[in-house]
Amino acid sequence: MNKIAVAGVGYVGLVTGVCLAEKGQQVICVDTDSQKISQLNQGTPTIYEPGLQALLHKNITANRLTFTTMAKEAYIDADVIFICVGTPEQADGSANLNYVYQVATTIAQYAKENALIVIKSTVPIGTNEKLKEFFRAMGLGFEVASNPEFLAQGSAIRDTLAGHRIVLGVESERAERLLKSVYAAFEQPFVVTDLASAEMVKYAANDFLALKISFVNDIANLCERVGANIEDVTKGIGYDPRIGDQFLQAGIGYGGSCFPKDTKALHWLAEEEGYILRTVKAAIDVNEKQKYKLLQLAKQEIDTFRGKKVAVLGLTFKPETDDLRESPALPNIQMLLAEGAEIRAYDPEGIERARVVLGDGIRFVNSAKEALEQAEICFIFTDWAEMKALTPNDFITEMRRPLIFDGRNCFDMDVMRAVPEIRYVSIGRPKTGVARSADMIL
């Protein structure tokens, strides 16, 4: 059993700490946010993530997992220190590494000489080398390693405990042995490489997935013009093992804390090296336009939103998370508000965070059906199971005259097409319902 310190209790740090404790390591997590630390020590997660609360409580009870605001307490006996702090996007698209170096400064004060410092945060290629130089300038010889995370919100516990690989960027056999001992109970293949390659793996993985999403959305937009159905197209190409069937869901683009930030960071880094990543730039451009796709479709049907009662289903950037970062729902809601819409919004987990971002301009409700009550228009931004469980009759019963704009293709097109009372518009598929004549436009 190793003594592990985890710096940062955000999504990555908290999930990493809990999962390492679950696999038998002795883990202490440190953060400067005393409110979060107090909450976590009581066994209450600070984020919504399926399966997290049970594992958090289990490992605190087993005395394998503790939380503190005291850096000295966390680092002084640690064999391995994982840096899991945020690297937010700056105005020029580059990653802000201030939090990484703040943690490194504290590590330098308290960690023992043979502690292995591991960057798990997503950082630009070359950051581990710069961190080594940072320590050397202070007269310290800490060994540094790269161990990028590949978790996705909504499946973070599963992604960590039963992922597809563990990437280790190391410079010595000792570092490799130590990290392999940390992950000994994880039944995943190791990819052992150098520091720069490990850093690049993370960016390449995220940017490739973002590319795949943007490609499908681009094809979906063309499908609308030529009368093809993106659902059938993606099914047809998804059977090809060279392509695969994941990340082929057409919609209103990607969001969250990773894809938007990481695509821009890698594109910025390439430009700094005198190279243009044209494919990544295309993914960014397509996604930026795609997040407003639903509103563009709505404006083809609706003259004005002023005074219209609008139901918004879904606020988070994806289901099974409470994360609103880069969610397509937010800028669309702000545009609807600016145009005078009266909005009732629902999300199973994102409402409390949305209150902070959106303020009192909209009414938050307790269920999808409550959001639909007397609504003239419905926008679906997130494909939560609760939204997908709605039936045509729910829309007919609750709404005045169902006009639905589905940004995640939650419903079977043929089922919606069979209901004449519903006007249903989705992404990359033929529109359903009787075409509206000029005098029917809202």
215 assigned ligand-binding residue: no
Classify residue 376 by its DSSP letter.
Answer: S
325 assigned ligand-binding residue: yes
Classify residue 81 by its DSSP letter.
Answer: E
Per-residue tokens: 119: 């960057």
23 assigned ligand-binding residue: no
36 assigned ligand-binding residue: yes
Using a 10 angstrom Cβ sphere, with 0-12 exposed, 13-18 middle and 19 or more buried, the burial of residue 291 is buried
122 assigned ligand-binding residue: yes
87 assigned ligand-binding residue: yes
C-beta of residue 111 within 8 angstroms of C-beta of residue 83:
no
C-beta of residue 287 within 8 angstroms of C-beta of residue 210:
yes
**Catalytic annotation present for 84:** no
Of 19, 258, 378, 410, which is the active-site residue? Answer: 258
**C-alpha dist (Å) from residue 349 to 217, 237, 311:** 26, 34, 17
Q: How many helices (H) and strands (E) does the chain have?
A: 19, 14
255 assigned ligand-binding residue: yes
391 assigned ligand-binding residue: no
CA distance 152 to 145: 22
3-state helix, strand, coil in the chain (%, to 5): 45, 15, 45
Question: Which helix (H) or strand (E) covers residue 3, if one does?
Answer: strand 3-7
Q: Which residue ranges are tagged as binding site for substrate? A: 202, 247-251, 255, 318
Query: Active-site residues: which are they?
Result: 258
Q: Which residue ranges are tagged as binding site for NAD(+)? A: 31, 36, 87, 122, 261, 325
Q: Which residue ranges are tagged as binding site? A: 31, 36, 87, 122, 202, 247-251, 255, 261, 318, 325
